[in-house]
Amino acid sequence: MKRAAKGHALQVVTANALRSGSVVFRTAGDDWSLDIADAVVAETSEAGEALLAAAMRDVAADVVVEAYLVDVERQENGPRPLLLRERIRALRGPTITENRTLAPAATGLLAAAC
């Protein structure tokens, strides 16, 4: 998988929730949040490894899957991943508008047109 080269970047831990598949971030309270703003940021690579080790216990406990470290920078509204892939994951959705059904059913159209 794509990760930035090892360096001294700040890091957060991400994973997917087992049940829903949702992207989640490890929080300071040893829990998981959908919002990267809640993520605990590891300042050193040792702290990052420790954070990941703790997260792996939740992998073993079948709470999340595929936990890994993500390089971030700190911004006003919270950590921002350096890689686009991780920024899109942190968005909780695609960068485009989905063609969803939001309006009431349009099947009345058939009747209307006939």
Please give the residue ranges that form the binding site for another protein (CB under 8 A): 1-2, 4, 16, 18-23, 59, 61-62, 65-66, 82-85, 88-89, 92-96, 98-103, 105-107, 109-110, 112-114
By C-beta, is 47 or 88 nearer to another protein? 88
Distance (Å, whole) CA 81 – CA 112: 49
Report which DSSP code applies to 94.
-
By C-beta, is 22 or 44 nearer to another protein? 22
By C-beta, is 29 or 102 nearer to another protein? 102
Contact status, residue 38 vs residue 92, Cβ threshold 8 Å: no
Contact status, residue 39 vs residue 26, Cβ threshold 8 Å: yes
